[in-house]
Amino acid sequence: MTANISLGQYLPGNSVVHRLDPRTKIFLMALYIAIVFVVKSLVVFLLPVVLLVAMFLFAQVPASYFFSALKPMKWLLVFMFVINLFATQGTTLWIDWKFIHITQEAVEQAVYITLRLVLLVAGTSILTLTTSPIALTDGLEKLMSPLRKLRFPAHELAMMMTIALRFIPTLMEETDRIQKAQMARGADFESGNIFQRAKSMIPVLVPLFVSAFRRADELAMAMESRCYHGGEGRTRMRELHFHWRDLFATLLLTAVLVGIILLENLPL
């Protein structure tokens, strides 16, 4: 009984964001990332924050996912904030006590960098929350397909991703089984220094690798039996189509990006 771990945690739903074409969402993420990096001043920073809140609302994703996306990062965020607070040079001193000198610029830097990280992590999580892994690989395959003219193996890569995603839970279960079998033989994965612990993984990794190769062999045979012969002539049951909402969302975010660039660079 393994916990159900879905990579990136896809949250099924029917919101407008869910229904956007995955290619659109990938492109919107790129725009969003650009926005997060282009903002420089405090007031303009509000725009991506509002954007993030709007994304969560439109995607109908509960706020708890915002916190769980950031949880693994919490110490990194604290670290970034503190480092920048003390390491940045500045002119306007705010705190001057014994050896602690904190300037206004340092505070700004620390806040902006931390905020950028938060916006990035939380914002990109929307992509994986609203897009199933298959839709993502489909979208990526479609986006990469023009590159096939340049001999880029877009289809093969997409197929690899699909198969990898499919086997992750299976391989995790197998790892668990193998670990238990070796533990029953007295294997100890917990004690010892880092070298000892790495070595103790050999009885798990070797069988896992051998098994993975065998699986690949059998899977290849099964795929060939089902007439798989590469990407040539292949159709897809689920076709990707653009709708008005894709165009609208793209225009909206492009406008925000352009707007921010102007706001940051025009003297106001």
Partner 1 sequence: MAPNALIEIVNVGFQYVGAEKVALKNISLSIQKGEVVAIVGHNGSGKSTLCKMLNALLMPAEGTVRVDGMDTCDEKNLLEIRRRVGMVFQNPDNQLVTTIVEEDVGFGPENLGVKPSEIRVRVDEALKEVEMTEYAEKASHALSGGQKQRVAIAGLLAMQPEVLVLDEATAMLDPRGREEVLSTVKKLNRERGMTVVMITQFMEEALGADRVFVLSEGRLVMEGTPKEVFNERTLLEESRLDAPAFVKLRDELIAAGLPVSHEAMTCDALAEELGRALKS
Partner 2 sequence: MPIIIEQLSHTYLPGSQLAYPALGDVSLTVQDGEFLGIIGHTGSGKSTLIQHLNGLLLPTAGSVLVDGLDTREKKLRKQIRSLVGMVFQYPEYQLFEETVERDVAFGPKNMGLSEEEIAPRVEEALRLVGLNPSEFAEKSPFELSGGEKRRAALAGILAMRPKYLVLDEPMAGLDPRGRREILALIESLRSDYGTGIVMVSHSMDDVAMFADRIAVLDKGSLFMVASPEDVFSHSTELLDMGLNLPQATQLVRALRARGIDIQHDYFRMEELAADLIGRWNHDR
- Build a one-symbol-per-residue string for 187-226: x at contacts with partner 2 by CB under 8 A, - elsewhere: xx-------------xx--xx--xx---------------
Contact flag: residue 109 with partner 2 (CB under 8 A): no
Q: Which is nearer to partner 1, 150 or 237 (CB)?
A: 237
257 alpha carbon, distance to own chain's centre: 21
Of residues 155 through 194, those in contact with partner 2 by CB under 8 A are 174, 177-178, 180-188
Q: Does 231 bind partner 2 (CB under 8 A)?
A: no
Query: Under the criterion CB under 8 A, does residue 165 sit at the interface with partner 1?
Result: yes
The residue (of 149 and 226) whose beta carbon lies closer to partner 1 is 226
**Rounded least distance, CB 169 to partner 1, Å:** 5
Q: What binding mask, one character per residue, do residues 225-244 give for partner 1 by CB under 8 A, x or -?
A: xxxxx---xxxxxxx-----
Residue (86 or 228) nearer to partner 1, CB: 228
**Is 166 one of the binding residues for partner 1 (CB under 8 A)?**
yes
Smallest separation (angstroms) from partner 1 to the CB of 163: 6
- Residues lying near partner 2 in the complex (CB under 8 A) are found at 1, 3-4, 174, 177-178, 180-188, 202-203, 206-207, 210-211
